[in-house]
Structure 1
Amino acid sequence: IKNKIYNPKAKKSALKVAKVIVFNDDDEVLDYEMAKCCNPIPGDVIFGFLTVVDGIKIHRSDCPNAIQLRANYAYRILKAKWVNKNEIDFIATINIKGIDKVGLMNNVTQIISNQMNVNIKSINISSSDGIFEGIITLKVHNVTFLKELTDKLGKVEAISSITRTYKH
């Protein structure tokens, strides 16, 4: 009889795989991790990359590393697609810029937390000469939900730009 070591991370990972991403044309369920270089969320076009050490990493098709991975390691690319997308939260990071005004960050956090019911993982805002720039890391369900959130934030008069960033 083999001794089994309880590994809660492995069990959690297996559950996540069954609910979120399938691979190849036959919807194969495999273990994977999200690539930290591009932080894919449901709704993004994705692919799997079979690494030498860390197994399958899921990348956005527009990831900064995608061209290099596909060009040099095409034989390690796996088709991947999302399934049951709304059950799990994913990390997404946005960069916001605009005119610094009293109460602006209160408005932003009210939209994110109260109106959209989104959990803020981190927020970093700085201001210089009346212009602010901020990086907000959020937990969202999918890219459609993130777009709805950024559209609402874009209606705030003092915000001039909102972009999704790769790093968090």
Structure 2
Amino acid sequence: QNRHAVNGVIVEDIDSCMIKFAKCCTPVPGDPIVGFITKGFGVSIHRADCPNAQSREDPRQAARWVRVRWATQEEQPFETTLELDCITRDGLILDVAMALSTARVRVKEMNGKDLPGGRSAITIRFEVKDVAELESVRTKLLNIRDVVGSRRGQN
């Protein structure tokens, strides 16, 4: 069995290939992952629970799915997205920004929008080294007053 790590991922039975991380589910080290052989773009790495990975069940697509796993931990940052469900209040964005600063993560983008019923949604795109760091950041954010929920984003 050939096992060659590319971008921190080992693709089983393929010696060398291009790897790209799916933007739909933004996998980070520690997430269960699967690989999909694309037409012309190498292997696309998805979280195993990604809605786009459900085509593994389709017999016409099954041969294009390959087993992949994380290589030994590298200190390379991975981009991910969290969507926060909040109760609208003054200063909420500042509190979120302060928590992210305290967590020492590199924020790539942050957007907030008002929703009906006094609710707000805040979407944050940032870099983490693994799923443990992601969960640590998520915990800090959920401890902010009026942040009532979070979920991994789908870009």
* Structure 2 unaligned regions, length at least 5: none
Counterpart for residue 123 of structure 1: 110
Report the TM-score when normalising by structure 2: 0.85
SS of 1:91 mapped into structure 2: strand
| In 1, Cα distance between equivalents of 2:108 and 2:94 | 16
Identity of counterpart residues, as a percentage?
30
Q: In the alignment, which of 50, 75, 90 is matched to residue 102 of structure 1?
A: 90
Q: CA deviation at 1:84?
A: 3.4
Q: Which runs of 4+ in 1 moved over 4 A?
A: 26-29
Q: CA RMSD in A?
A: 2.0
Tell whether 2:13 aligns with 1:21.
no
Q: In the alignment, which of 72, 75, 86 is matched to residue 84 of structure 1?
A: 72
Q: CA deviation at 1:130?
A: 3.4
Tell whether 2:46 aligns with 1:59.
yes
Report the TM-score when normalising by structure 1: 0.79
Counterpart for residue 10 of structure 1: none
| In 2, Cα distance between equivalents of 1:28 and 1:160 | 45
Residues 23-57 of structure 1, C-alpha deviations (whole Å, 9 max, x = no match): 22x79554311122222111111111111221111
| In 2, Cα distance between equivalents of 1:78 and 1:127 | 41
Whichever residue aligns with residue 92 of structure 1, its letter is T
Counterpart for residue 20 of structure 2: 33
> For this pair of structures, how many residues does the alignment match?
149
* Structure 1 unaligned regions, length at least 5: 1-15
| In 1, Cα distance between equivalents of 2:17 and 2:42 | 10
Which structure has the larger Rg over C-alpha atoms?
Answer: 1
More strand by share: 2
Counterpart for residue 153 of structure 1: 141
Counterpart for residue 151 of structure 2: 163
Residues 103-153 of structure 1, C-alpha deviations (whole Å, 9 max, x = no match): 22111111112x110011111102255322111111111111111111111
More helix by share: 1
